[in-house]
Structure 1
Amino acid sequence: MFCEQCEQTASGQGCHQWGACGKGPEVNALQDLLVYVLRGLAPVVLKAEALGLPVREINAFTCEALFATMTNVNFDGDRFKTYIRQALDRRNSLQAAIASAGDTEPWPAIATYEPQWDESLSSQGQDASLLLLQEAEGNIDIFSLKLTTLYGLKGMVAYASHAWELGQWDDNLFHFTQEILSKLGDTHLEVGDWVALALAVGQWNFRAMELLDSGHTGTYGHPVPTPVPLTAQAGKAILVSGHDIKHLATLLEQTRDRGITVYTHGELLPAHGYPKLKADNPHLYGHYGTAWQNQVHDFAKFPGAIVVTTNCLMPPHGEYSPKLFTVGAVGYQGLQYLEGETPDFEPAIAKALELPGFAASDVETDQPPRSVLTGFAHQAVLGVADQVIEAVKSGKIRHFFLVGGCDGAKPGRTYYTEFVEKVPEDCIVLTLACGKFRFFDKNLGHIGELPRLMDVGQCNDAYSAIQIALGLATAFDIGVNELPLSMVLSWYEQKAVAVLLTLLHLGIKDIRLGPTLPAFLSPNVLAILSQTYQLKAITTPDADLAACLA
């Protein structure tokens, strides 16, 4: 196998024997084969679209299937075989409809590919993965940019899939997805063309995050600053991990009046900030555990059922596998999978009622309850923009830092904790995504009535952070890059790639990225990004703080 799409690749180069995420060679090959089949589906969808044939459902399927190939989403080889069959069935049906419409133009070879359904399927996937390199015709920079574009696209369609669940979509975004998939094999594009395509992924990822923001706020209200307990309460319990707030809402509806307390885990912490979700579901109580890479410890100790809604799933330990359920694009062989856009959570509910839950002795009673604040999305922060502006003008706020992104288990991520701890007391820290769990429970105090640590939300709420920056830039009548704002980001998987491309598309400069730079960026591509956008690697907290505040 060969995979370098995440930050934790072996030796910083790529995983060759077994994925650092726990993905095996066979699953890796099936994922690559699925991507190849989706690339063959793309020109068929574009032709059907041009002829006025309905393609929206197929576009949504493409997004979900590509989402499943992201790091730590799906490890189930059988599920990937199903996705491949479904993609081929949709392609063949669409080709028949196009022929019936009178278009008999021959298809490219990739659009007529049929795998051999035997024991060689994995090796066919390995061959398909090599084609992307061969199509770059030996140009390592073009290969690097193709990977950057593909990985950014994977992150973008993940957000688009969540938005689709909430009734939000943009047919132009779907069209762009198919265009990129169809162009991955293009041998006529130069380095500059691929840079432009990668930045276009960033542009459309901004649209995907906007759609998801509209879906969340239109359904559950705009987030408001909300304290979230970090301590448990006695009783039966279900833990919900991942990012999918609609699946969380569905489970809350099905557990209403069932005597079960629902806790969030990982990137679902910001769900507590949505007022309609909280008002309708008093049994959504608190947050348990921290970031995804700690789930082996968190899940083993949790005394109830656990539902994983999106990435990031780690290969589970047998001790807690029987109480673990997956939905959506998530899967692992042997785990119970709850199918459908609106899953029936009854098996998870039954497991929660069977398990002991938290005993009274488990609940901390000898000290004040611990909690954290979440819900500082764009409306909440810009709603007090006058206070922020006055604090800056009066010198009470010297600088803003956006410190967040994807967390991970690889050594070196303590940088972010140390950085936040050393931020001067006259500075504000905005944070988002699971990177915040390095410091989310620290009490940094206030500047006036403004907390110095503000949780903007999930990784997709980079949209909120951007809106905050744009709003403040407008209020000060300056450009975003002139704001007293520094971005210090951590990355792990492909959603982070998509968000980074969005920031670059918007022209935001001087971003610090770590803990290491992507292995799929060639030296020349990295030089282009460094020269154009001053993108740089993190160094040490002290040195980077000094540079930001200079």
Structure 2
Amino acid sequence: MDEMFCFQCQQTAHNEKCNGKAGVCGKKSDTAKAQDELIGALIGLAKAAECGTPTDSTDRLVLKGLFTTITNVSFNTKTVNELTAEVEEEKRKICKSKVDNYDLSRLWEASDDIRSLKSLILFGIKGMAAYAYHALVLGKTDSEVNSFFYTALRAIEGESNPDKLLGLVLKTGEVNFRCMALLDSANTESYGNPVPTVVPLTIEKGPFIVVSGHDLHDLKLLLEQTEGKGINIYTHSEMLPAHGYPELKKYKHLKGNFGTGWQNQQSEFHNIPAPILFTTNCIMPVRQSYSDRVFTTSVVSYPELVHIGDDKDFSPVIAKALECGGYDEDKEMTGMNGGHTVMTGFAHNAVLSRADEIVALVKQGKIKHFFLIGGCDGASPSRSYYTDFAKATPPDTLILTLACGKYRINDLDLGAIEGIPRILDCGQCNDAYSAIRIALALADAFGCSVNDLPLTLVLSWYEQKAVCILLTLLYLGIKNIFLGPTLPAFISPGVLDILVKNYNITPTDVPEKDLAKALGRK
């Protein structure tokens, strides 16, 4: 296959596949093909692990390699090829026998259902690798989780039985649940349990740095290195939940949040008088109007940008902030609905501390339904569905938000129920464990299953972390999920039929119609 083939994200061209010279995300075909070769090499490494003994270095390389291939992480063919070379060297270290890599074009050219099932596994472990990598950075690892990556990678080449592949799809969801719990404990042990926090959107005058991505460890290091230097720090998009963690909140120069969802960065970063640091995914093709002020670190890589290496010396970012100087006066920014503040910090510990109160309000009829409206965001106009849906929810309902889809609704003022805000932000996709824990705890409190709760999940998906979260929900047996704005291009009609029959997954339609269906179901 000479041309690029990619259909792993929601913005895939024509909801079929990206091919030709570049994908809709801006990734060039040579980079996409290099990432496929990296996956093929990782499958070779997983096979080599059967004849040898993988080490901690092997495990870390598997996580880093899978994480690198997530949408909007790396646009740099050179660094992808360098990582593939590291995988090859590691393969030789752990196994003296010759082990061939896998040609990923064999997967893309497979029959529809086999390709669909294997894609669910592959994209699921890519998302899970991101969670495991973040936990590893904070010193947390799980041998069962690490072992599963090798099993799943080998199955992508070697398994052809649809029933066994479907079982492995659900196993991916099961292991991801364990992995999300691992990351949750890593974050809370390092930074404390998040607390509800109002986050301003106004940017104060003077030098500042914008930090995007999910890596709380990188943010902590930057906060330490900028303390006392007259530089304010603002989160962007995925980094918003950092404001809820006590060990990060104590830095007074962590001021607020810059801008809205990741998909708006090209306009919001236009001529920004400050540097931007990308710590993980969601970097977009960088425009000339701010390219000299963008820095990357960790797995993020973009041609010709300054990369902060493993030493995590952010001096170049700090120097650029002082050089740019920031705004001459406070700059008032707003959310996507015109609001001036947003809230975060309603993780499972904060919400469950009020569980008795919430249960009582349900029994009193003051809370009649719960909605989880969240997931990955994107630029498609159809994503206004989620804003419209939230606005249409009745005043006796609570909305949990999750991941960057929250930016569609998190600055809305929908009021409160007996002092409980109607919009409760659980965090990012890294914090999906919180939302699941809340749902399971409510089910336990009412002595029923999650599917019997007055709860509706209205999810948006964009990339591979959303895929592994969906697989976890399926593993837990959660049904009646509204999924949009489009169904994944890699889901074949046969596999979709299984998901609809077994889990009643429903494509999003018109907000009012879906809302009536959700409220009528319980």
TM-score if structure 1 supplies the norm length? 0.91
How many angstroms does 1:108 deviate by?
Answer: 4.7
Q: What is the rounded CA distance, in whole Å, between the counterparts of 1:414 and 1:222 in structure 2?
A: 32
Q: Where do 1:395-406 residues align within 5 Å?
A: 395-406=365-376
Matched, 1:69 2:69: yes
The residue aligned with 1:110 is 101
What residue number does 1:159 align with? 131
Larger CA deviation: 267-276 vs 39-48: 39-48
For 1:326, which of 296, 310, 317 is the aligned residue? 296
Q: Percent identity?
A: 48
For the pair 1:447 / 2:414, whether they are aligned, the reply is no
Is the counterpart of residue 182 in structure 1 residue 154 in structure 2?
Answer: yes
Paired residues for 1:390-429 under 5 Å? 390-429=360-399
What's the CA shift for 1:73? 0.5
In structure 1, the partner of 2:245 is 274
CA contact (8 A) 1:45 1:55 kept: no
Q: 1:465 aligns with which of 409, 425, 435?
A: 435
Tell me the alpha carbon deviations over residues 125-177 of structure 1, each in whole angstroms, 9 at most, x when there is no partner: xxx3312245x4xx321111111110111001011100100111101111110
- Please tell me whether the aligned partners of residues 271 and 289 of structure 2 are also in contact (alpha carbons under 8 angstroms): no
Root-mean-square deviation (CA, aligned residues, Å) is 1.4
The CA deviation at 1:458 is: 0.6
Where 1:362 maps in the other structure, the secondary structure is coil
Task: State the match for 1:125 in structure 2.
Answer: none
Equivalent residues of 1:56, 1:171 under 8 A apart: no
Is the Cα–Cα contact under 8 Å of residues 295 and 308 in structure 2 kept in the other structure? Answer: yes
3-state SS in 2 of match to 1:109: coil
SS in 1 for 2:349: helix
Query: How far did residue 276 of structure 1 move?
Result: 1.4
The residue type paired with residue 43 of structure 2 is: R
Matches within 5 A, 1:115-134: 128-133=103-108
| Alpha-carbon distance in structure 1 between the residues aligned to 2:57 and 2:269 | 35
What is the Cα deviation at residue 548 of structure 1?
0.6
> Partners of 1:412 and 1:363 in 2: how far apart?
28
Instruction: Provide the aligned length of Structure 1 versus Structure 2.
Output: 512
Kept in 2, the 8 Å contact 1:402–1:485? The answer is yes
Q: Distance in 2 between matches of 1:133 and 1:490?
A: 25
| Offset at residue 277 of structure 1 (A) | 1.1
Map 1:239-250 onto structure 2 (within 5 A). 239-250=210-221
Of structures 1 and 2, the larger Rg is shown by 1
Helix, strand or coil at the partner of 1:267: helix
Kept in 2: contact 1:507–1:533 (CA 8 A): yes
Asked whether the equivalents of residues 29 and 129 of structure 1 are also in contact (C-alpha less than 8 Å), the reply is: no
Q: What whole-Å deviation, never above 9, does each CA across 1:238-279 have from its counterpart, x for those lacking one?
A: 000111111111111111111100000001111000011111
- Could you list the per-position Cα deviations for residues 497-526 of structure 1 after superposition, in whole angstroms to 9, with x for gaps in the alignment? 010000000100001100000000000000
Match of 1:253 in 2: 224
Give the structure 2 partner of residue 20 of structure 1: 24
SS at match of 1:223: coil
Q: For residue 100 of structure 2, what is the amino acid of its counterpart?
A: A
2:353 matched to which residue of 1? 383
1:125-524 correspondence to structure 2 within 5 Å: 128-133=103-108, 136=110, 139-187=111-159, 189-279=160-250, 281-340=251-310, 342-360=311-329, 362=331, 370-524=340-494
Amino acid at match of 1:110: N
Tell me how far apart the structure 1 counterparts of residues 156 and 284 of structure 2 sit (CA, whole Å): 30
Q: Structure 1 residue 6 and structure 2 residue 12: aligned?
A: no
> Which residue matches 1:82?
82
> How far is 1:469 from its partner?
0.5
For residue 489 of structure 1, report the CA deviation from its aligned partner: 0.2
**Partner SS state of residue 175, structure 1:** helix
Structure 1 residue 361, shift from structure 2 partner: 5.4
CA shift at 1:369, angstroms? 9.6
* CA distance in 2: counterparts of 1:47 and 1:270, whole angstroms: 43
3-state SS in 2 of match to 1:343: coil
Q: Is the 8 A contact 2:339 2:412 kept in 1?
A: no
Measure, in 2, the Cα distance between the counterparts of 1:41 and 1:361. 52
Contact 1:46 1:175 in 2 (8 A): no
The answer to whether the 8 A contact 1:241-1:307 is kept is yes
**TM-score, normalized by length of structure 2?**
0.96
How far apart, CA to CA, are the structure 2 residues paired with 1:179 and 1:107? 19
Cα distance, 1:210 vs structure 2: 0.8
From the superposition, tell whether residues 301 and 443 of structure 1 become closer, same or farther in structure 2 (CA, over 3 Å): farther
Which secondary structure state, in structure 2, belongs to the residue aligned with residue 413 of structure 1?
Answer: helix
Verify the 8 A CA contact 1:48 1:55 in the aligned structure 2.
Answer: no
Native 8 Å contact 1:429 1:454 kept in 2: yes
Structure 1 counterpart of 2:204, one-letter code: Q
For residue 47 of structure 1, report the CA deviation from its aligned partner.
3.1
Query: For residue 129 of structure 1, what is the amino acid of its counterpart?
Result: L
CA contact (8 A) 1:381 1:468 kept: yes
Deviation (angstroms), 1:318 = 1.0
Question: What amino acid is the match of 1:447?
Answer: I
- Identify the residue that residue 38 of structure 1 maps to in structure 2: 42
Q: Note the alpha carbon deviations across 1:37-77, whole angstroms, 9 max, x for none.
A: 1100112223323xxxx512211111111111110100001
Separation in 2, partners of 1:481, 1:166: 34
Gaps of 5+ in 2: none
